A and B are shown apart, each in its own frame.
Chain A
Amino acid sequence: MLAYTAVGNVFVWIVWIAAAAACIGTGVLVVTRTNPFHSALALIGNLGSLAVLYLLLSAEFVAAAQILVYAGAVMVMFLFVIAYLGGKADAPWIGGRSWHQVAAALAGIAILADVLVAISLSAGGTLKTEAEVTRSFGSPEEIGRLFLTDHLLAFEITSIVLLVAAVGGVVLGSHARRTEAEAAAESAEDAA
């Protein structure tokens, strides 16, 4: 059980506000930029601020995993592909059907309002009492223990999913290469 001084509390609040603002701001940026490179960078920033929030929620391992895996590997892959696509990847705001846009905005607002209402309603009731956690909560040992005992199946299935995704990526990539080779052969024939 840790005791917080009044100063510590203020510090936490400052960090929290900064992280929350960054999170929301970068989230909006991701969705609204026309240059996909900017969107990807904004997403990286989002992931970073989320990691800070996780730390505040005593989920240290998850925060580390988020930075290492998500921001470090997945987003880098994203950036690779955006770089590969080059100019083709440009994403201007071309309108679709007008009713789409209106409806999308409405849906978004509806869901937001709904959930906020739900949260505020239950905040007074179910969500009043918080649990006390030990120091080991969210630590790697705890995560590891849970993964290998209570949630072993999820662990194994996750690994299979990743395997399948890897295979799928290879297949998608090689397919393209084959057609490219065929196209090269054809153009060689035409030239001859």
Chain B
Amino acid sequence: MKNTIKVERAKKDFTQADLAEKVGVSRQTINSIEKGKFIPSTLLALKIAHVFAEKVDSIFLLEKDDWE
């Protein structure tokens, strides 16, 4: 699964730490999600989408290998 968090952060001029504080996780967690090392829960994905005022599926995008 890929995501557009980095792009959305740049649009809003948020650092990883800013976003982490807004959704209540550590900066390392945001970093892991951005790099695709950690897939967030539905709750966290909804919170991230809410902060960016976007829909979840415009931030988190399924890839072909997610279906395998």
A and B part of one assembly: no
Chain B residues with CB under 8 Å of chain A are none
